[in-house]
Amino acid sequence: MKFKNLFPLFLILFFISCNTNKISLENSENYNHSINNPSVPNQKIILKEEALIQNYKSSNTKINDLINTELHISFNYSEKKAIGLVNITLNPHFYPTDSLTLDAREFNLENVNLKTEHNLTPLKYTYNNNKLRIKLNKTYTRNDTFVISINYTANPEKVKSGGSLAIQNNKGLYFIDADTDNPQIWTQGETQSNSCWFPTIDSPNQKMTQDFYITVKNKFVTLSNGKLISSIPNADGTHTDYWKQTKPHAPYLAMIAVGKFSEIKDHWRDIPLTVYAQKNQINNAEKIFGKTTKMIEFYSRYLNYDFPWDKYSQIVVKRFVSGAMENTGAVVFGTYVLNFKNEHQRIENEAVVAHELSHHWFGDLVTCESWANLPLNESFATYFEYLWIEHEYGRFEADDHLEDDFLNYKFELFFKNKDLIRFYYKHRDDMFDAHSYQKGGMILHMLRYTVGDDAFRKALNLYLKKNEYKSVEIHDLRLAFEEVTGEDLNWFFNEWFLNKGIPELKITYDYSENTKTASVKIEQTQNFDKAPLYKIKTSVDIYYPDTVINKKITITKQTQIFNFKSENKPLFMNFDPDNAILCKKEENYTIAEYFDILEKAPLYEDKIEAFNMLKHNKSHRQNEIYYKLAQHPFWKFRYKAIAGFCPDIEKDNVLTNKFIDLLKKINKNDKNSAVRNSAERKLKDLQ
């Protein structure tokens, strides 16, 4: 799932955060003064321990396993209801059982039967608190299967609305403009809302195949998971579409959509690709979804694991309650994804397409077994946005995207500092935040550079192959990386996935003429109540006029000094030259060193840092560097160099005239509108 406009929404949360995500661990009524007696247990400690046990969010216990859901569904548009017949095939997970509990929210139940080849046998059941508890006709073992048949009416409008930043509503089934000539029906199942329109075991650690029969008016198109097997006209002016999903996935990934849509058709190898949008949206849809085929090819090759599903459809619907949703083979997007004013915004919207596509490996194929493990879905989808942008548009554009991720997470960190994999959230929707998305993505970026790109890709391939069509927890990912690298990686996973906060590093560079030694002093200054002491594997680049020397380092202490023999004073030294470590850092560079960084450091983050540190500085050398960077292939460097050029007209007359000539060319020919506008403004200032 992708949710949009994260930073502005966090501004709202900032003012209410003091009332959210708090677990009351103390009860003054239970406190007594015997805690001063060492022979009596400290009551506050006991209460905290009890609260931890009571509030632990475990994976759902599997008593019965879903196998297949056969659903026959039609709709009452005026009353916003769904009429359904469902046949659910299940078997006991391990222990024998004579009962079954299904999630079914706000249903009117007509009957509940055991279905055999020739008979329907009524079963006793109770229905309260949105739980359907069924007494089976006998005790079944794990070697048995049974089919439950239920006739019902779903009433999504009666579902008590909840929602979160990521998912603004949770009634599962939505009727949009139902009283007009252009209605739409669509579903949103994550986290556990598909049980608002069909009975199921609504848990991410269940997997099922599907046979969905959707009956709608003839003028409407339908979409669901899997392939369209048939479309049968009915005598009453309706038709029934049969969608079959042959590979198992989690119940929250099931979907249906109904409405008037135009189609864009394509294919990847022998897999059909379709985009559904309203007719007036088709042009922009082609610009946003047009690279889907290239994305599938890239991800399939990167992971050495071909796209695992039998079709890929994407649909844009009205007033979607989230940004987008990765339903298996049938992704739903809000209309915002089609809105963009320039190429940079278009790429950012295209990244949403990449996000949802990557879920088809991370989330749909291999699914988090509990919402506590949600980063196993969302961290990967967030990082695979980066990988797509890096592949298609270059690392500068990708790192610009990653910087936005860091800003989102850093803002959230002001009022929310949680473990990445966390078992004590207040509500499962709380997991959909900048920790699970942005921080998790940046941790994967760091893991990639910690183990190396080749090992990273091989470990992901192993993780997918060992766990395909299954549910997983964080240790499954760690074990895959350990098997590939041969290294015990508990230290990394404990620090980053199972802990909170990030390191805050004070980095001091120095050079001693007497000993001919360049040194880097690194101090971890974070509050150790809010973050651990980190072990960090990285390196330092030492820059000289004609060469760069890279030195590997491993940080294991709160304060650590690394010394390197150097006959000459370096131009500058660069900690973490891959820009991979997730941290806040403070460095003691001089203005002259920032000039060299701006000119020589190859990556986005270093240049942007130098731009920012020099924005109030003026010098001839700085303007010379800006003149060069105004011609850089990456648009943001051109933009910042143009905006920052501020010469002394008399002293820099020759350079200024050259810059004016350059600005005229940029204003006329640059492909980026922001750069052209910046050049136009600067021309007015200089002429």
Q: Quick one: pLDDT band at residue 201, thresholds 50, 70, 90?
A: very high
Residues 432, 464, single domain; the answer is yes
Whether 512 is in a domain gets the answer yes
Is residue 534 located within the same domain as residue 423?
Answer: no
- Could you report the per-residue pLDDT of 329-364, keeping only the tens digit for each? 999 999 999 999 999 999 999 999 999 999 999 999
Of 38-47, 484-493, 582-591, 620-629, which range is least confident?
A: 38-47
Confidence band (pLDDT; 50, 70, 90) for 166? Answer: confident
Query: Same domain for 557 and 647?
Result: no
Domain extent for 624: 618-687
DSSP 101-112: EEE--SEEEEEE
Does residue 13 surpass a pLDDT of 80?
no
Which CATH number is 533's domain given?
2.60.40.1840
Per-residue pLDDT, 478: 98
Concatenated DSSP letters of 11-78:
HHHHHHGGGSS------GGG--GGGGSTTS--HHHHHHHHHHHHH--PPPP-SEEEEEEEEEEEEETT
Q: Are residues 565 and 459 in the same domain?
A: no
Of the candidates 478, 496, 514, which is a domain's last residue?
Answer: 496
Q: Are residues 533 and 480 in the same domain?
A: no
516 and 569 belong to one structural domain: yes
Element (H, E) at 227: strand 227-233
Q: Judge whether 663 lies within some domain.
A: yes
Co-location of 412 and 478 in the same domain: yes
- Identify whether 48 is part of a domain: no
Q: Are residues 484 and 556 in the same domain?
A: no
Rg, C-alpha atoms of the chain: 29
Domain boundary among 436, 462, 496: 496
Q: Is 346 inside any structural domain?
A: no
> Tens digit of pLDDT for each residue in 656-687?
999 999 999 999 999 999 999 999 999 999 88
Average pLDDT over residues 69-75: 98
> Does residue 452 lie in a domain region?
yes
| Residue 527 sits in the same domain as residue 490 | no
Q: Are residues 371 and 420 both part of a single domain?
A: yes
Helix, strand, or coil here: 624?
Answer: helix
pLDDT in the model for residue 649:
67
Give the tens place of pLDDT for each residue, 260-285: 999 999 999 999 999 999 999 999 99
User: Is 668 contained in some domain?
Assistant: yes
Q: Is residue 658 assigned to a domain?
A: yes
Same domain, 393 and 485: yes
Residue 168 is predicted with a pLDDT of: 80
Task: List C-alpha distances in Å: 685 to 622, 637, 649, 679.
Answer: 18, 20, 11, 10
Domain count, the chain: 3
Cα–Cα distance between 419 and 27 in angstroms, integer? 25
pLDDT digits (tens, 9 = 90+) for 115-159: 999 899 999 999 999 999 999 999 999 999 999 999 999 999 999
Question: Can you give the CATH number for the domain in which 451 is found?
Answer: 1.10.390.10
The residue from 474, 496, 518 where one domain ends is: 496
Question: Are 585 and 650 within one domain?
Answer: no
At 509 the pLDDT is 98
What is the average per-residue pLDDT within 582-597?
98
Domain contains 435:
yes
Mean confidence (pLDDT) of the chain:
93
What whole-number distance in Å separates Cα of residue 348 and Cα of residue 674?
15
Q: What digits encode the pLDDT tens for the residues 380-421?
A: 999 999 999 999 999 999 999 999 999 999 999 999 999 999
Asked whether the predicted pLDDT for residue 14 surpasses 70, the reply is no
